[in-house]
Amino acid sequence: MAISLRRHDHFPHNSRADALSVATVGNAFVDRVYAYLSPVYDIAFGPLLQPGRVKAIERLAIEPGDRVLEVGAGTGINAPLYPPHCEVTAVDLSSDMLERARDRIGAAGLTHIRLLEADAAHLTFVDESFDRVYAPYTVSVVPDPVAVVREMCRVCRRGGRIVILNHFRSTNRLLARMEQAISPATVHIGFKADLDRQMLLEQTGLRPLSVEKVNVPPIWSLITCIKE
Burial (CB < 10 A; 0-12, 13-18, 19+), residue 224, is buried
Q: Torsions phi, psi of 174, nearest 5? A: -65, -45
Domain count of the chain? 1
DSSP state of 25: -
Q: What is the mean pLDDT of the chain?
A: 92
Angstrom distance (rounded) from CA 25 to CA 183: 11
The pTM (predicted TM-score) of the whole model is 0.90
Q: Does residue 91 sit within a domain?
A: yes
pLDDT at 15: 40
Q: Does residue 4 sit within a domain?
A: no
**92-124 confidence digits (pLDDT tens):** 999 999 999 999 999 999 999 999 999 999 999
pLDDT at 18: 54
**28-54 confidence digits (pLDDT tens):** 999 999 999 999 999 999 999 999 999
Q: Does residue 221 sit within a domain?
A: yes
Q: Does residue 6 sit within a domain?
A: no
Tell me which residue range forms the domain holding 119. Answer: 17-226
Q: Does residue 60 sit within a domain?
A: yes
**7-16 confidence digits (pLDDT tens):** 233 333 334 5
Q: Does residue 29 sit within a domain?
A: yes
Angstrom distance (rounded) from CA 18 to CA 146: 11
Q: Does residue 144 sit within a domain?
A: yes
Among 77, 89, 85, 80, CA closest to 113: 89
CA dihedral (126, 35, 136, 191) positive or negative: negative
Contact 111, 175 (CB under 8 A): no
Q: Does residue 12 sit within a domain?
A: no
Paired strand residues for 70? 90, 134
CATH number at residue 151: 3.40.50.150
CA dihedral (25, 29, 31, 36) positive or negative: negative
Among 82, 1, 89, 90, CA closest to 38: 1
